[in-house]
Amino acid sequence: MNVQSFTSHIMEKIPETLQSGVILGSGLGNFVDSLDNPIFIPYSGIPDFPRSTVSGYKGEWVFGYKKTLYMN
């Protein structure tokens, strides 16, 4: 697992450096619907990134704006 490789891949896909982050648990995924200009990056699109095996889990990073704060 190469964290630098994952980070570089993700940073190439987002428009600016993150200001904040939120890790959501089960049942809180609807929060992403409230983000402006969301960017979805599936785990499967990140080279060598671990895949989720949990049934029903989307397995993706989501980046977007909440008001003017850019976050994931």
Domain-by-domain residue ranges, the chain? 3-71
CB 64 within 8 A of CB 35: yes
Please, how many CA atoms are within 13 Å of residue 19, restricted to the half-sphere of its CB?
8
Q: What is the pLDDT of residues 35-72, one digit of tens each?
A: 889 999 998 888 888 888 888 788 888 888 888 766 66
For residue 41, the model assigns a pLDDT of: 92
pTM, two decimals, is: 0.78
Q: Among 69, 64, 16, 17, which residue's Cα sits nearest to residue 40? A: 64
Least confident of 7-11, 14-18, 47-51, 53-57: 53-57
Bridge partners, 64 (sequence order):
71
Angle at alpha carbon of residue 37, lines to 8 and 68, rounded to 5°: 90
Bridge partners, 16 (sequence order):
none
